[in-house]
Structure formats: C-alpha cells, structure tokens
Structure 1
Amino acid sequence: MSLPTLPFIVERNAYGKLVLVTGDGERHNGVTPVRAFPIAAPDEGVALVGTDGHELAWIDRLEDLPAQQQALLREALQTREFVPQIVRLRSVSSFSTPSTWDVDTDRGPTQLVLKGEEDIRRLPHGKLLIADAQGVHFLVPDLHALDRTSRRLLDRFLA
C-alpha cells in the first residue's frame, strides 16, 4: 500500500476532530499528526496517523501545504506536544546533581529537578534537550541566544 502524498485535504469535522480526505474522496476521521523529528526538524516529516495507529499520509514539509491546512496541523501538533522552551535560568540549587533549577520558559516560570548531567542532551545547531526528574522535556532552542547568566549556569553542567 502506498501512502498518499499531496493531493489530500485535512479539515475539522463538526466535533473538532481532524479528517483526512484523500484524492479519491475517502474520508478518515480522527487522524493525528505526528512529527518524525519534533526537535531537530519540526517542520519536516509529518505523518497523519489513523485511529488504529497506522500511517495514512505523509507530509515531507508542512510549508508545502496550503496556509489553512498548515495552520490546522500546526495547531493540532501544538496541543499534542508539550515541550516548554527555557528562555532563562534564574538559579540552580547546587552545581552537583540532583539540583533544582528555577527557570523561565515560554509558558511561564517553573522549577525542574535535574537528576544528572546525562539528562542534558546536546542537539544540532546549539539546541539542548533537558529531561527533568518528572519526565518533562525542556528545550533550549539556542544555547548561544541565552543571556550571560543563563549560559554561565549551564556551562557548569555541560563541562
């Protein structure tokens, strides 16, 4: 079975669920968009998955879609994924682990507990992915864009 690429349409039904309408008119209710690489390449490689967990369609790049469908899928992806972005480190309880970090995120201030330095993953292009003790992943989208204090605090854990 080959997966449909474009043309297809993604729309919402009366219940707010996503519907995939393939080129031959077949309708698949309750599809879920899933990113192949949510951190490294968030706008490339998105699968539309049916309620049975099987992939129904593949999108190479979100920007290839018409603006309305692109916005619909981005909204659905945003509600599905929870990866707050750290914009500033205010303080850390200690430079040994476990330590409690006071941070500002794109969703507001919070605290996270870092169990060990191995919970900080370096990603391409100066990104960091930090897993806290509760399993929540925090993204630092650009280490070099952080303020000086934040970089200095992080450097103690990245050495």
Structure 2
Amino acid sequence: MNNQNLNLSRNAFGRLRLVTDDGTAHDEVVPVRAFPISNPGEGISLVSPEGRELAWIERLDALSAASRALIEEELGAREFMPEIRSIRKVSTYATPSNWSVETDRGDFSFILKGEEDIRRVAGGTLLIADSHGVQFLIRDQYSLDRTSRRILDRFL
C-alpha cells in the first residue's frame, strides 16, 4: 500500500477507518508503534481489531498531513507515558515507596512497589511502572538533575 496516499478517516463512531488499495474498508483500525521509545516516528503498523496487520508505515513524516494527524491523534489517545523530568522526593529508599515527580504532563505521585518495576530500556533510558501499571519514562537518566540522579541511584 502506498503510504503517502493512505486512505484513512473516522467512521460514524469516531474510530479509525482504513480503506485498502483493493477497496476493502476496515473499521476500528489501531496504530501500533514498533519502537515507541527509541524511534517513535518510524515503524508503525495499522492493525485490525483481531490483531492482523493491514498496513505498514515506514515513517510518519512520509504521510500526508491529514493521515499523519489522524494516526498521531489515535496514538496520543492510546499512549499515556508521562516523561519524568525531575524526582522531587521519595518517602523511603525501601520499597514500596511513594514517589513525587515532575513530568512533561504535570506533577504526579505514585507508588513504586519494587526495584524490579524500574527497567532499563536502552542506554540511559528507563521505564518505571507504578502500582497501577502506568508507565513513566525517563528518556536519559544522566540528563536528570543531581538530586533526581542521586535518588534514582538508590533504586538501581
């Protein structure tokens, strides 16, 4: 399928609809990033509700503005991963502990159940899962302020 001319729209229920080159309409299409952290603008699959891949998008920026906007809007609604910019304080250095952090989406407090809920992804990138399963991203632990790095080091 020619990604530049991807035939995407919203159906009557506001769900993503893809019409493939052969004219088949697929409702409730879901975009899924292959590399959501390391390369979010590349490698996006459009899948059916059953999980079957319908189209592959090499690069989001190669799409028309309208198609790109629909996919980014859909991804934004599905993906909630605040990026931690600063760790303000933790209640204790033992787990479980309450964390107060500043993120790109505002201030949050959450409970870290155990050190195993902090995962290294690549290089200095970390994912922290709170007690409710919400994933927090630290894109580069080495670029955090000194206080945040010191707190984080106690858990790694």
> Are 2:63 and 1:65 equivalent residues in the alignment?
yes
Task: State the SS of the aligned residue for 1:74.
Answer: helix
Write the distance in 1 (CA, Å) between the matches of 2:126 and 2:77: 22
**Range with greater deviation from structure 2 (75-84 or 18-27):** 18-27
Q: Deviations over 1:83-129 (max 9, x none)?
A: 11111111011112111111112222111111221111112242110
Q: Which amino acid aligns with 1:120?
A: I
Say if 1:91 and 1:103, in contact at 8 Å, map to a contact too.
yes
Say if 2:17 and 2:25, in contact at 8 Å, map to a contact too.
yes
Which residue of 1 is the match for residue 54 of structure 2?
56
Which residue of 2 is the match for residue 23 of structure 1?
21
Task: State the SS of the aligned residue for 1:23.
Answer: coil
Write the distance in 2 (CA, Å) between the matches of 1:5 and 1:141: 33
Instruction: Report the identity percentage.
Output: 56
Q: Which amino acid aligns with 1:23?
A: D
Write the distance in 2 (CA, Å) between the matches of 1:133 and 1:52: 29
Task: State the SS of the aligned residue for 1:151.
Answer: helix
Residues matched between the structures, number = 155
RMSD between superposed Cα atoms in Å: 1.7
1:6-155 alignment runs, 5 A limit: 6=3, 7-155=5-153
Q: Deviations over 1:39-85 (max 9, x none)?
A: 23222221111233322111122122122211210110010111111
- Can you give the 5+ residue segments of structure 1 that lack an aligned partner in the other structure? none
Write the distance in 1 (CA, Å) between the matches of 2:33 and 2:55: 12
Write the distance in 1 (CA, Å) between the matches of 2:7 and 2:145: 43
Say if 1:18 and 1:29, in contact at 8 Å, map to a contact too.
yes
- Can you give the 5+ residue segments of structure 2 that lack an aligned partner in the other structure? none
